[in-house]
Structure 1
Amino acid sequence: MKASVGDRIITASGVVGGAVRDGVVTELHHDDGSPPYTVRWSDTEEESLVYPGPDSLVQHGDAGAADETARPARAATWTVQLSLVEASGSTTAEAVLVAGPVEHADVGPLRSVGHARKDPHDTEIPVIGDEVAAGRALRRLADALLGQAEEDITASTGVPAHVHD
């Protein structure tokens, strides 16, 4: 990996639920552009020494020079909140997409619900009900998100859209 001052670094989190971060290279420590780099992070404006790994991408400052319509890479973090309620052999899960792109702020959060009910003859193992209800809620949330994408494509192009699985 090679970078220059002014290049952008995008780094995925090494942990589940962690944020994707992006920043600008402000200083090189080797003349050949190899790591480490000093990076100013866009979310905190703090600078730190970075040794980028396989979860990082360098977007060179001149990447869009040949194509003036090229958009720079962007980073976003979406969070899904999953709530579970279990009572008397029945479990209900609600999945809520609680964060998303700013351009969809008027749409509001996407929500879905999944249910699971154990057979009266089965042994009560609450985690199984949680898994089934959560899986159903998340599957429905995914369908709602794809439906929203289809609506957005249709609104943008004026042509009815279908997103294939």
Structure 2
Amino acid sequence: MKAAVGDRIVTASGVVGGVVRDGVVTECPHDDGSPPYRVRWSDTGEETLVYPGSDTIVDAQVEAGSDEWSEPRQARALTWDVRITVVESGGSTTAEATVTNGPPDALRAVGHARKSPGDPEVPLIGDEIAAGRALRRLADRLLAVAEQDVSAAVGHRAHVHR
């Protein structure tokens, strides 16, 4: 990762549901643009020394190979929540996974699990299996929607690898 003074930096939260932070690089002590960077955060105004990880992107304000400044590209940071509802009854479990605030069209998927008659009653296992199956189907649906969107954008049938 390389950065320069004036670049925008965006860091995702290390915890589920945490805040995405963005700031501006105010100091880059290495001539080659390598970390660490001093960053002024937009939410607090404080400056900290940042050693970016894989959860961080740098939005450069300088076009590659150019000495002229350009308008900064706008980075996007989104949060999509998935709600899983689980219902268990008599050794059968059903889970529904729904994207609650993501794509314009609500996405949902259902997964089922059923215990074998001779197995002990451990509801958590059925919950995990049903929820996992619902999430896998939800992922397939999201990729199918993306494939339709890509096809519409390029004007011909496209394929998204799954």
TM-score w.r.t. length of structure 1:
0.76
How has the CA–CA distance of structure 1 residues 63 and 73 changed in structure 2, closer, same or farther, with 3 Å as cutoff?
farther
How has the CA–CA distance of structure 1 residues 19 and 78 changed in structure 2, closer, same or farther, with 3 Å as cutoff?
farther
Does residue 6 (structure 1) correspond to residue 3 (structure 2)? The answer is: no
Instruction: Using the TM superposition, give the Cα deviation of residue 36 of structure 1 relative to its aligned residue in structure 2, in angstroms.
Output: 5.4
Provide the rounded CA distance (Å) in 1 between the counterparts of 2:135 and 2:28. Answer: 45
Larger deviation, residues 49-58 vs 154-163: 49-58
Do 1:36 and 1:49's aligned partners in 2 also have CA atoms closer than 8 Å? no
CA RMSD of aligned residues (A): 2.9
How has the CA–CA distance of structure 1 residues 63 and 79 changed in structure 2, closer, same or farther, with 3 Å as cutoff?
farther
Instruction: Using the TM superposition, give the Cα deviation of residue 30 of structure 1 relative to its aligned residue in structure 2, in angstroms.
Output: 6.0
Letter aligned with residue 112 of structure 1: A
Does residue 125 (structure 1) correspond to residue 127 (structure 2)? The answer is: no
Do 2:29 and 2:36's aligned partners in 1 also have CA atoms closer than 8 Å? yes
> 1:83 — aligned with what?
85
> 2:38 — aligned with what?
37
Unaligned runs of 5+ in 1: none
Unaligned runs of 5+ in 2: none
> 1:24 — aligned with what?
24
> 1:112 — aligned with what?
109
Provide the rounded CA distance (Å) in 2 between the counterparts of 1:151 and 1:126. Answer: 38
Do 2:111 and 2:133's aligned partners in 1 also have CA atoms closer than 8 Å? yes
Instruction: Using the TM superposition, give the Cα deviation of residue 10 of structure 1 relative to its aligned residue in structure 2, in angstroms.
Output: 1.3
Q: Percent identity?
A: 53
How has the CA–CA distance of structure 1 residues 63 and 83 changed in structure 2, closer, same or farther, with 3 Å as cutoff?
farther
Equivalent in 29, 38, 46 of residue 48 of structure 1: 46
Do 1:64 and 1:71's aligned partners in 2 also have CA atoms closer than 8 Å? no
> 2:15 — aligned with what?
15
Provide the rounded CA distance (Å) in 2 between the counterparts of 1:117 and 1:61. Answer: 55
| 1:7-63 superposed Cα distances (whole Å, 9 cap, x missing partner) | 1011122223434332233x449697865524232xx4x312222233233333214
Number of positions where the alignment pairs a residue of Structure 1 with one of Structure 2: 154
How has the CA–CA distance of structure 1 residues 51 and 77 changed in structure 2, closer, same or farther, with 3 Å as cutoff?
farther
